[in-house]
Amino acid sequence: MEMKAQQSIAAGRRRVWDALNDPEALKAAIPGCESFERSGENQFTARITNRIGPVKARFSFIIELSDLDPPNSYVLHGKGQGGAAGFANGSARVSLEDDGDNTVLSYELDASVGGKLAQLGGRLIDGAAKKLADEFFSRLGEAIAGEEEEAPQAAEIDKPETADEPEPGSRLKTATLIRLGAILLIAAILLYWLV
């Protein structure tokens, strides 16, 4: 499938990145996300377990980044194995832009699914993916709103992660984008699985 969308998030770009940089906020936004870890330079692993109707499956994702252009865009490649549920592979080009007080997040996703995901869900994917993406961003928005109230804490979390980096700004952006992209991919994959 191919999916292309933009989402406007009612927060400044910096604040969106901060939120996206918060592992707890990300976990909260992705249903069933068990872990999200760095496994190498530009490589990450994630585990998501979910029960959709009668199907319970755990996906193991390997996520790799390429074409890094901090703080504008990058391409993310993900490979997910879902055991009996099949597999999901995809890549997404993700970018962030300021839009007044808001931040516009754009993504173009190209994904393919196999096994049960393709056999039982194929034709409903597009509609369901859009619906889940909406859910993801609304949850993320709530997380940002909560963060706003606890801004000092959020800043504290940011500091240790960026303090040791020679180019704190771009590293932060990269890390943020990595997670954002991963979530988008995972969200889209989950959607396949929903149907």
Partner 1 sequence: MQENGIGASVRRKEDQRFLLGKGRYTDDINVAGQTCAVFVRSPHAHAVIEGIDAEAAGAAPGVVAVLTGEDLAADGIGPLICGVQVTSDDGKPHRAPAHPALALGKVNYVGDHVAVVIAETLAQARDAAELVEVNYRPLPAVASTADAAGEGQQQIHEEAPNNICFNWPFGDKEANDEAFAGAHKVSSIELVNNRMVTNPMEPRAALGEYNSGTEEITLHLTTQNPHVHRLVLAAFNQLAPEHKLRVVGPDVGGGFGAKIFVYAEELVVGWACRKVNRPVKWTADRTEAFMSDAHGRDHVARAEMALDENGKFLAMRVHTIANLGAYLSTFATMVPSYLYAFLFAGQYATPLIYSEVKAVFTNTAPVDASRGAGRPEATYLLERLVDVCAADMGLDPAEIRRRNFIPKDAFPYQTPVVQCYDSGDYEAALDKAMELADYGGFEARAAEAKDRGKLRGIGFSSYVEACGIAPSAAVGQLGGGVGLWESAQVRFNPTGNVQVFTGTHSHGQGHETTFAQLVCDQLGVPFENIEVIHGDTAKTQFGMGTYGSRSLAVGGVAIAKACDKLIAKGKKIAAHAMEAAEGDIEFAGGNYTVAGTDKSMNIAEVAFNAYVPHSYPEGVEPGFDENAFFDPMNFSFPAGTHICEVEVDPSTGEVEIVDYTAVDDFGKLVNPMIVEGQVHGGIVHGIGQALLEGCHYDADGQLVTASYMDYAMPRADNAPDFRVDYAPTDPPHNPLGVKGCGEAGAIGAPPAVINAIANAIGAKHVEMPATPETVWRACQAAV
Return residues touching partner 1 (CB under 8 A).
83-84, 86-87, 89, 112-116, 118-120, 122-123
- Shortest distance, position 192 Cβ to partner 1, whole Å: 11
Closer residue to partner 1 in complex, CB, 175/194: 194
Q: Which is nearer to partner 1, 121 or 181 (CB)?
A: 121
Q: Among residues 60 and 73, whose Cβ is nearest to partner 1?
A: 60
The DSSP secondary structure of the chain, one letter per residue, reads -EEEEEEEESS-HHHHHHHHT-HHHHHHHSTTEEEEEEEETTEEEEEEEEEETTEEEEEEEEEEEEEEETTTEEEEEEEEE-GGG-EEEEEEEEEEEEETTEEEEEEEEEEEEETHHHHHHGGGHHHHHHHHHHHHHHHHHHHHHHHHHTHHHHHHHHHHHHHT-SSHHHHHHHHHHHHHHHHHHHHHHHHHHH-
43 vs 89, beta carbon nearer partner 1? 89
Nearest-approach distance from CB 51 to partner 1, in angstroms: 14
Q: How far is the CB of 185 from partner 1 (least distance, A)?
A: 17
> What's the min distance (Å) between Cβ of 32 and partner 1?
17
